[in-house]
Amino acid sequence: MQKLLVLLLLINISAISQPSATSNEIYVCPPCNSSCDDLKFDKPGICHHCNMELTTKKELQKLANKKMTIAFYLQPGIEVLDFAGPMEVFAYANFEVFTVSKTKEPIISQGILKILPDYSIANSPNADILAFFGGNSSSAFNDPKVIKWIKTQQNIEYHFSVCTGVFALAKAGVLDGKSATTFHNALNGLETNYPNITVIKDARFVDNGQVITTAGISAGIDGALHLVAKLQGFNEARKIAYHMEYDKWIPGEGVILSEDNPYKNYSDRTILEAYTGTYEYLDGAKVKLKINPREKALYAIVDDRNYPIFHVQNNTFMNLANHKITFIKDKNKKVTGYTSSQHPKTIFHKLSD
C-alpha cells in the first residue's frame, strides 16, 4: 500500500499567508484534518481547498476544544444498515458518536444483532446532532416520553434521519413547514399524516439547512457523506467514501434547499479534462489520470488501482496523504507535465492525452 501511495503524484501543501491591507483580522479555514488548516486569509470567503466557509481566528479559538458530537437514537427492531452505514461515515470523520435509547436495556436489531445503548433518555448528554433511524419506528416514535425527550434537547445544530426515522422528527414538530423524504414504502404515510411537511418522493436525501432526511437504508450513507461535506468540505467526504469503498456515491444526488451547498465550488469536469492523460514517473513507471464521471473528480491510476486526486486551487492538486502535485502549462495553457515535492527538481512530462 505504501509503495502504491508513493507512486501518486504528491507534494505537501505549504501554509499561505495573505497580508491584509485594510484590517488586522485573520480568517482561517475551520479544522478539517487537511493541509488547509494552516492557511490564513485577510478577508472572509470560501476556502479554495475544501470549500468550507472561512471564520475568524478568534471564533476558531472558541471552537478549538469542541468536537462535533452526534447522538444516535436506537429503538428495538432498528434496521442495521440504517444506523451502521452513517455511523461508519461519522466515525471516519472523527465525530464523537454515542447511542441513546429509551432505556439502557439491550436492543435487538432485526432479530439478530444485540446492542447495548450508551445512555437512556434519562441520562443522555447533550449532542450537537440528533440522528434517528428506521425499523419499528411506528411504535418507538408514538411514545410520548421519547417525543418529549426530542423536543427538550437543547442547542441542537442539526437533525438527521434515515428511512422511517423521519417520523421521529415529524412527530416532534422539527419538520413543520419543511421538506423531507423517507423510505419508499412510507412516503404516502408521511404525506397523509403530516400535511405541514412537503414530502419529496424521488430523492436520496433532502437538506433543509439544519435538518437532513434521507430515503431508506443505503441512502443514509449518502446523507451522512453530505453532512460531512457541509461541515468538513467536499474533499473530506470524498476521502471517506474512498476509504469505505462506497463507489456508488454520487455527490450532491439529493435535494439541497439550503445555501450552504458544499458542491457548488468544486471543480467541474470541463476544468479537469485538461489534466487527464498519461504521465512519466520514476524508473520508467507511468501514471494515468482519468475523470470518474460519477464523482466528476480526478483519479490517478497506478498498477490498475484508482486513487482520488483532490483539486485545491488553480493547477494544484492533493492526494490522500495530503501531498500535492502542481501541473505545468505552456503559453497556450496546455498541460505539459507536473512537478512533485518528493522530486522537486524533476519535471515529469505528459506522454499522451
The catalytically annotated residue of 32, 36, 47, 163 is: 163
**Residue 191 neighbours by CB distance under 10 Å:** 16
Output the CA–CA distances (angstroms, integers) from residue 119 to 79, 98, 344, in the order listed: 19, 8, 53
Whether 163 is a known active-site residue: answer yes
Identify any residues that bridge with 130 across adjacent strands, giving them in sequence order: 71, 159
E runs forming strands in 104-250: 107-109, 113-115, 119-120, 129-132, 158-161, 179-180, 198-199, 205-207, 211-214
Give yes or no for a contact between 326 and 338, defined as CB atoms under 8 angstroms apart: yes
Positive or negative, the CA dihedral 256, 225, 212, 155 is negative
CB neighbour class for 337 (10 Å; exposed up to 12, middle 13-18, buried from 19) = middle
**Active site (catalytic) residues:** 163
